[in-house]
Structure 1
Amino acid sequence: MKKQNWIILMTAAGVLTTSAIAGAGGVVEKVSGMLRGDVSVTVNGESTSLHPVYINGKAYLPVRDTAEALGYELSWSGKQIELQNQEAEEDMDYVMISGVISSVTQVEDSYRLEVYGLGTNRWIILSADKDTVLTDAEGKSFQAKDLKAGMQITSEYGPIIAMSYPGQSHAATIQVGTQRSIIEQAVSAVTKTDEGWKVQFSEVKDGVETPTLTLNTGKETMVINKQGQPVDWTQIKPGTNVRAYYGPFETKSLPPQSPLFVLVVTDEQPDMETVKEYRELSWSLLSADQKSHIKTAKDEALVSIIDASHAAIMPVDDKQKEALADLVASQSKLISVTYNTDQDELLGPLTVVFNQETKEVIGYFIRK
């Protein structure tokens, strides 16, 4: 419970005499005192109508009126007097997230927000309603109906979070920041730079692929999958489908460039632990001759989740041929690990395919 500190001042100007009834040792008796009507009582600088009664040199104030002046409710039962603070509330242990709104859906009198960001939960569903305190970057009031996808927000939510996936909770506060632009399409190129990474998008115009936008990462850039889990930058290749939140500023260059805030990989992606595990496993199984042609660094091989029905898989033996047929029939998923080689122009990249259940090699993608 929040602790209240009170400063009570009494200022005297004259003296009045009166008598009062007081309780002492459980026995009610009549006592004499002086009512100081000339003494003004202030609470934290605020004037009150209270006047003390002095009995045997001690100042007394009427308990019910005093309780109201201090912001308490008085309850009296038998020999027990209880004061309850009218305004104090228990401190709430809120959880914070700072990120971007992915989607907004009105649900009766509230708004359902899907949010990606940094915090205890990287992916959360928040409910904003009449009890949510919404402000803009300047602290001015903001309306929930004006919330949009792409808005950068900082929110306090909880303390109750539904045990679903993603978690769901009520937003206590939302501070709205920058409105980010959104692009959702396949990456045409991704390049590592001294400052971070550069992601490029293109369009085919008159039969020619033309760059249309370049996004540059910074220290605050997040790259995650649809479940809010971190994705290794080396997992993003030309053709990877993403949704990018960027800007709002763009340079006037061709193509325009803009800072990248959040990059969500919309293709199904393995988590980072799985990526690391299969990179190690695949590398350990490659022959010396295969490794001699590989140009991709061991820790940069592309690890993907693919359908078992992928027609380009060549099983390594009859056992795996039967296993692949069973996996295709059950519509299962496989893990593939892809390397670029010095023979790509002639044969294409080298891709090893694994059974997720047994972690055995099923086979290889057929090369040209």
Structure 2
Amino acid sequence: MDYFGAPFQDFLQPSSNIIRVENAVIEEVNVETCETGYILISYTVPLPNSGNQNEQIRLNVSRYTIIISQYGAPLSLCNLEVGMRVNAEFSAAVTSSIPPQSSAYSIIVIRDESNTMVTTDRVVSNDAVNGVLTTGNPFDLSEQISFIISDDTIIIGRNGNRIPLGQVKPGQMVIVEHADFQTMSIPPQSPAYRVKVI
């Protein structure tokens, strides 16, 4: 299943006891622990004749639920917020309650341009092999952030041309446009959309 290029909200029929929803919106987040709780999502179902129908479902999250960014960075229920867009896979065994409930297998947070932050800081380290650029205070992990660099990340050098990640050096100042969420790791991680060396 290609989660990364969904141009519109789409609902796919159950397959192998799994239902897949793309480009859904989180309407509510209830956290018991960062591993357990639920989210309420809304999505659009195309009708057979014409038009669409809005649906909602409560997805129960357990420690077995996979929660990641579209770039593969691990997240937890604590990272999810109302308004985020997600692709989700959940059990076809759905309750008849209102709203219906199901067990979530995977939740993938997809990029939303309106939820972009900008960080300007000095590069601490650059792991070009694994696609991780870390900025912040080189002497304090709690004051650092690691940016996940994907094939979609645009990296611009001082001359204004695109450069590979390997050309970004520790000590250089960078402006990073990135997601407004991050993992709970130390240092935290966040997907980077654009990196500019200044």
TM range (shorter): 0.3 to 0.5
Higher relative contact order (CA 8 A, sep 6+): 2
TM-score (norm 1): 0.26
TM-score (norm 2): 0.42
Which structure has the greater CA radius of gyration?
A: 1
